[in-house]
Amino acid sequence: MYTLILECSHQDDEHGSWEFDAKFDSKGRGYAINWDLYAFGNDVHSGAFLCIVQVRRYEKAHKNWYPSIRKNYFLVGENEDGTVFAHPLPATVIRYAINHERDVILSVQNWMFGTTDYRQVVRQGDVALLPCKRPPQVAEVASYERAANVEKSHLLVADEIRRNGNMYAKNPRLTHPTHPYVEAHGWFKVVVSQRATYWKFAPPTVD
């Protein structure tokens, strides 16, 4: 866990970086950035270790002013190529799961992919396939379409792709330069994970 957090804090590339430090003058003016652990566990599919952290910035610009406190929340884990990811989350989902004694990791994954049961999801990074009981009845049927790019880097190939604002695929196959190849049988809704808003002092990674 500590290794994951430190790797996130030391990243200095297109992902940004987190700098855990504190700088105050003799009058108490300055800032501090630190983190707290909220939950940890394992992904139900891969078994990979995951944790949820709060990254917090405390700042006081004047000795007589109230401090400014800003907080980001992230799901942190390791990609298949060994790089670390930090996915931004809403505090409300985390607090609800904690207050109702639910699995916090599973709760945020349900929120990310807009499902009530992440265990049924076929996932490839930030893209997931949600099973449908029957083919979606949509106005636009692109039966000639067999392939599409999802989030630029995920190549979707299927027997049939349908769209109605959302994307659906029959017998889909997903390939990606980093994530393992995945496939599924039947009809699935193609979903890109939600990302919460965040303060820029601690940016998330990209997929």
Supply the pTM of this predicted model.
Answer: 0.87
Same domain, 6 and 104: yes
Residue with the two structure tokens 């990310």: 112
Residue 53's pLDDT is what?
95
Let me know: does 105 contact 41? Beta carbons within 8 Å. yes
Residue 17's pLDDT is what?
59
Distances (CA, A) of 172 to 73, 84, 110, 142, 157: 32, 27, 21, 15, 6
Let me know: does 33 contact 20? Beta carbons within 8 Å. yes
Q: Annotate 25-58 with b (16+ C-beta within 10 A) or e (fewer).
A: eeeeeebebebeebbeeeeeeeeeebbbbbbbbb
Same domain, 6 and 81: yes
Residue 14's pLDDT is what?
43
Same domain, 30 and 67: yes
Same domain, 37 and 91: yes
Residue 188 CA to residue 123 CA, distance in Å, equals 12
68-78 vs 22-24, strand pairing mode: unpaired
For residue 82, the SS3 value is coil
Same domain, 97 and 147: no
Same domain, 72 and 102: yes
Residue 95's pLDDT is what?
97
Residue 125 CA to residue 132 CA, distance in Å, equals 20
Look at residue 60 and tell me if it is in a domain: yes
Let me know: does 74 contact 86? Beta carbons within 8 Å. yes
Alpha helices in the chain (DSSP H): 2-10, 91-99, 104-113
Range of the domain at 142: 127-192
10-residue mean pLDDT series, the chain (207 residues): 67 58 90 94 94 95 91 92 90 98 97 95 95 72 76 94 88 94 95 95 81
- E strand intervals along the chain: 22-24, 30-42, 49-60, 68-78, 84-89, 122-124, 127-131, 140-142, 147-150, 154-157, 160-163, 167-170, 173-175, 182-183, 187-192
Residue 143's pLDDT is what?
54
Same domain, 110 and 135: no
Residue 84's pLDDT is what?
87
Look at residue 163 and tell me if it is in a domain: yes
